[in-house]
Amino acid sequence: MSTLDAPVTALKGVGEALAIKLGRLSIERVSDLLFHLPLRYQDRTRLTPMGTLRAGQEAVIEGEVTANDVVKGRRRSLLVRLRDASGIVSLRFFHFAPAQQQQLHVGARVRAFGEARAGATGLELYHPEYSLMGHGPGGAETPIDEHFTPIYPTTEGLNQPRLRALVQQALGLLESEPEALPEVLPDALRRRFGLMGLHVSLALLHQPPPDADIDQLGAGQHPATRRLALEELLAHRLSLREVRQRIQQDGAPLLSAGRGLQARFLAQLPFALTGAQQRVLEEIVLDLARPAPMLRLVQGDVGSGKTVVAAMAALAALESHCQAAIMAPTEILAEQHYRSFQAWFEPLGVEVAWLAGKLKGKARLDAKAAIADGRARMVVGTHALFQGDVHFQRLGLAIIDEQHRFGVHQRLALREKGEAGGLTPHQLIMTATPIPRTLAMSAYADLDVSLIDELPPGRTPVKTVVVSDERRPEVVQRIERACGEGRQAYWVCTLIEESEALQCQAAEVTCEELTEALPELAIGLVHGRMKAAEKAAVMAAFKEGEVDLLVATTVIEVGVDVPNASLMVIENPERLGLSQLHQLRGRVGRGSTASFCVLLYPAPLSQSSRQRLGVMRETSDGFRIAEKDLELRGPGEVLGTRQTGLAQMKIADLERDADLLDSVSALAQALEGDANTAAVLIRRWLGDAAGRYGQV
């Protein structure tokens, strides 16, 4: 084994204690040091004349000590004055040893590096790094640095010079055994994509030559950074592809239903499926009839009718004597699905079970027993369905609603649930987040994608207005009118300072105010800090029409379906992302009456917020909104990638490097069938995480 592949303790001077610190930086093998890139760089390659130094500048200066005093200000300090031909600068030390004062005696020549601040005596460097120069003419000159100095992300107890020395050791090893870290991208591909070599890129990033563009480096735009980012994105893409291949090697139950249950279900629905729903359903039916697990993502804008498609797919499983499960990200949503599936399936003679975290004691045991012995054929729940103590008799299809709240790992965990029968369940993932194509390729490279690109007929688009807080009384009157005409309304209080507690408090206060202003209306309140049973009761009352106005926090963001609600007021909409506003707004406009969304902002509104909210007024196209959102806020927010593992990249940044994604696709295609290269890349960039992706 090459030293580069060995644990860091193979390096000179690295013992257990240091290895633990390095571990905190995810540096375990020697080669990990090479991929631990600097955050930024310092320019110590030239001397700055003191006279040209500005406050805030980091610079190397050199001069002769002209004074050296211990001064008693608010804190005692050692003040050393330096002079060169152009000016005077002081060095200040709050902690100093007596020997230091002697070392920096008057007449000594000192070179120092630090950040200049405007201090009591003019420009000062606090605690600079410094060295003493040869004494006078003929003394040995220390050469100035030849490279920019890298500043690394580090951890307590590990200083920059130490980390720098370790990286230098690793670079030395790379030079002496270059084949230990092979360039796996073939020359032809590198030329085609204009990519720098791997070793050249690493060397450059750890010790950029003085003619490198330091701003470009700092911004992660240097060709060397981009080469590495591209390789990392490629490794993630290949890893997702591998996950897919691994799952698809498993057997899956053949779900080729006669259409009995489905036909009866369709006959009892008060509407016909849209063309888009039918098309997507056909794609699903084809997958289910194959002996490999389906891995399919259904994207459909809010209100496009994904639940009915899910129900039809579930019926195919039931008819083939398998169970089906649907999992939602919140209890409110899971309960809503539970009620829908009960109403739809019980008339067909199908028992529907319910399982969520809040279900305790005997009820929980009963539900688990019914799931295990197969009495419960349709199971609805939250992520509680994933827990190790839940066993299915024969799970044939797992449906995950609003996928962006779930991660890759949970998706994979489903494999285990089918193990009892020796078969892996089919997976159907549904999301209302319209994901721009290139991003979808990165986040969901392991999934096939179906698109419900049509809304059910008879919907009138929601009219959106942007209104200043000063017109609040008018907005309240508007609610009074709508509810007076028998319709219902939402009033949404948005996040305050990231604090759920404050958000709930705001909703409580607003609810009180509205109750006072609108005494004749029945007003309900739901927020995240209420007990699940209380929330459910309020939601149920709203669904039944017993509550006219629902005051809520963003907990109602996804999926809640009350067609009679035709007005939504969103307070402080400028705090939310556009995709989130779109999700919220999708709660109205589900019936046939014209619906309105009022974005109630506190005046004055910044130019950029005005522009953002303008997008909401102009379009109800979820894809356009998502593209705008991506532009304005980045992919982490749009995808919820924090939970998908995509955010754990070392060098690449989906937002910054979005323009690389097309090349990533092309490279992944070019490497199709090259299992060796894929394995090297995945191990290099995902390390042990790659195993986790595949095995969960």
Q: Is 300 in the site for Mg ion (CB under 5 A)?
A: no
Distance CA 529, CA 547 (A): 20
Instruction: Using the minimum distance from each CB to ligand ADP, give the nearer residue, 311 or 538.
Output: 311
Strand-pair category, 378-381 with 109-119: unpaired
Instruction: Pick what 495 binds: ligand ADP, Mg ion, none; C-beta below 5 to 8 Å, kind-dependent.
Output: none
Instruction: Pick what 164 binds: ligand ADP, Mg ion, none; C-beta below 5 to 8 Å, kind-dependent.
Output: none
Q: Is 622 in the site for ligand ADP (CB under 6 A)?
A: no
Instruction: Using the minimum distance from each CB to ligand ADP, give the nearer residue, 337 or 612.
Output: 337
Q: Is 453 in the site for ligand ADP (CB under 6 A)?
A: no
Distance CA 664, CA 658 (A): 10
636: tokens are 């982490």
Distance CA 428, CA 327 (A): 10
Among 434, 559, 635, 645, binds Mg ion (CB under 5 A): 559
Q: Is 303 in the site for ligand ADP (CB under 6 A)?
A: yes
Q: Is 271 in the site for ligand ADP (CB under 6 A)?
A: yes
Candidates 651, 188, 237, 158; CA nearest to 438 is 237
Angle between helices 688-695 and 223-249 in degrees, nearest 10: 30
Q: Is 304 in the site for ligand ADP (CB under 6 A)?
A: yes
Instruction: Pick what 302 binds: ligand ADP, Mg ion, none; C-beta below 5 to 8 Å, kind-dependent.
Output: ligand ADP
Identify the DSSP state of 194. T
CA distances from 367 to 351, 353, 381, 385 (A): 11, 6, 11, 11
Q: Is 305 in the site for ligand ADP (CB under 6 A)?
A: yes
Distance CA 109, CA 66 (A): 10
Contact window for ligand ADP (CB under 6 A) among 304-312, 314-322, 367-375, 545-553: 304-312
Q: Is the separation of the CB atoms in 552 and 490 below 8 Å?
A: yes
Instruction: Pick what 305 binds: ligand ADP, Mg ion, none; C-beta below 5 to 8 Å, kind-dependent.
Output: ligand ADP
Instruction: Pick what 292 binds: Mg ion, ligand ADP, none; C-beta below 5 to 8 Å, kind-dependent.
Output: none
Instruction: Using the minimum distance from each CB to ligand ADP, give the nearer residue, 592 or 648.
Output: 592
Distance CA 462, CA 566 (A): 8
Instruction: Pick what 47 binds: ligand ADP, Mg ion, none; C-beta below 5 to 8 Å, kind-dependent.
Output: none
Among 563, 634, 687, 694, binds ligand ADP (CB under 6 A): 563
Contact window for ligand ADP (CB under 6 A) among 128-136, 172-180, 210-218, 300-308: 300-308
428: tokens are 């159907």
Cβ neighbours of 474 (radius 10 Å) = 10
- Binding residues for ligand ADP, how many (CB under 6 A)? 18
Q: Is 306 in the site for ligand ADP (CB under 6 A)?
A: yes
Instruction: Pick what 3 binds: Mg ion, ligand ADP, none; C-beta below 5 to 8 Å, kind-dependent.
Output: none
Residue position matching structure tokens 């549904």: 430
Please state the closest distance from residue 585 (CB atom) to ligand ADP, in A.
12
For residue 600, which phi and psi values (nearest 5 degrees)?
-100, 100
Distance CA 183, CA 206 (A): 18
Using CB atoms within 10 A of its CB, is residue 262 exposed (0-12), middle (13-18) or buried (19+)?
buried
Q: Is 694 in the site for ligand ADP (CB under 6 A)?
A: no
What residues from 533 to 562 belong to the interface with ligand ADP (CB under 6 A)?
Answer: 559, 561
- The full length of the chain comes to 696
Instruction: Pick what 561 binds: ligand ADP, Mg ion, none; C-beta below 5 to 8 Å, kind-dependent.
Output: ligand ADP
Contact window for Mg ion (CB under 5 A) among 6-14, 365-373, 518-526, 556-564: 556-564
Instruction: Pick what 426 binds: ligand ADP, Mg ion, none; C-beta below 5 to 8 Å, kind-dependent.
Output: none
Coil/strand/helix, residue 276: helix
Contacts of range 95-102, beta carbons closer than 8 Å, 24 or more positions apart = 95/127, 101/68, 101/70
351: tokens are 């028992």
Contact window for Mg ion (CB under 5 A) among 278-286, 555-563, 607-615, 660-668: 555-563
Torsion of CA 671, 674, 675, 676, to 10 degrees: -110
Instruction: Using the minimum distance from each CB to ligand ADP, give the nearer residue, 80 or 313.
Output: 313
Q: Is 456 in the site for ligand ADP (CB under 6 A)?
A: yes
Contact window for ligand ADP (CB under 6 A) among 38-46, 260-268, 298-306, 368-376: 298-306
Instruction: Pick what 304 binds: ligand ADP, Mg ion, none; C-beta below 5 to 8 Å, kind-dependent.
Output: ligand ADP
Strand-pair category, 463-468 with 323-327: unpaired
Contact window for Mg ion (CB under 5 A) among 241-249, 266-274, 558-566, 611-619: 558-566
Q: Is 277 in the site for ligand ADP (CB under 6 A)?
A: yes
Q: Which residues contact 582 (CB under 8 A, 6 or more apart)?
A: 302, 616, 620, 622, 625, 626
Candidates 670, 669, 679, 663; CA nearest to 188 is 670
Chain residues in the site for Mg ion (CB under 5 A)? 559
Chain residues in the site for ligand ADP (CB under 6 A)? 271, 273-274, 277, 300, 302-308, 432, 456, 559, 561, 563, 590
